[in-house]
Amino acid sequence: MGHRENLLTAARECLLKTGYARTTVRDLVAASGANQASINYHFGSKDQLLTGALHDLNAEWGELLFAVLDAPAAGHEERWERIIGSIRESRELWFVNFESVSYLQHDEQVRAMTAEAQRQARIALANAFGGLGPAADPDDVRVVGAHYYSLLVGTALQWLTSPGDAPSAADIVRADTARRSA
């Protein structure tokens, strides 16, 4: 593995362990065995290196979510159980994704990357929970996907913050069913 790959691996580890804002050049150098000049040579700056690693982690998060949504399920509750399981198993990955939100205002690359990840997640969620496939009205896909994306993000935040008070899969389905029948 070359210096570039070592740096990306080190940045990924630092992001998951320490977070974006708290990762220092010293952390990256120690974790990679490279020097600061290598960071600048391969990425231009520490921030660009971390953004590259964040991009890889966002892709990993998307793969995780799509795998959960694509797996055969008996119903919505089973899907939500798998989603909650992935949140519990990948807490660090979720924390990094939430932290990256604070960079949207100042980093166009992070904003664009996040917007694309959200678009893909909305499509997958509209399909999994709304049964809306490629032939569906794009506006319906957008709206239904946005609804379930909001549920996903809110659920994840609750499980990361206060797991004892977070909704179970059964709670989410119950609330969704009650909302529809109201």
Q: Is residue 94 part of a domain?
A: yes
pLDDT band at 86 (very low <50, low <70, confident <90, very high): very high
Question: Is 0.75 topped by the overall pTM?
Answer: yes
User: Which range marks the domain in which residue 146 is found?
Assistant: 54-181
In 3D space, the residue among 46, 37, 62 whose CA is nearest the CA of residue 10 turns out to be 46
Contacts of 146-155 spanning 24+ positions with Cβ under 8 A? 146/122, 148/122, 149/118, 149/121, 149/122, 149/125, 151/176, 152/65, 152/83, 152/121, 152/125, 155/80, 155/83, 155/84, 155/87
Tens of pLDDT along 26-48? Answer: 999 999 999 899 999 999 999 99
Q: Is residue 9 part of a domain?
A: no
Say how far apart CA 130 and CA 49 lie, in whole Å: 38
Q: Is residue 28 part of a domain?
A: no
Q: Is residue 7 part of a domain?
A: no
Q: What is the mean pLDDT of residues 126-148?
A: 96
pLDDT > 70 in the chain, percent: 99
**What secondary structure letter does DSSP report for 74?**
S
Largest Cα–Cα distance of the chain, in whole Å?
A: 62
Q: How many domains does the chain have?
A: 1
Which of 28-37, 81-90, 99-108 is predicted least confidently? 99-108
Q: Is residue 2 part of a domain?
A: no
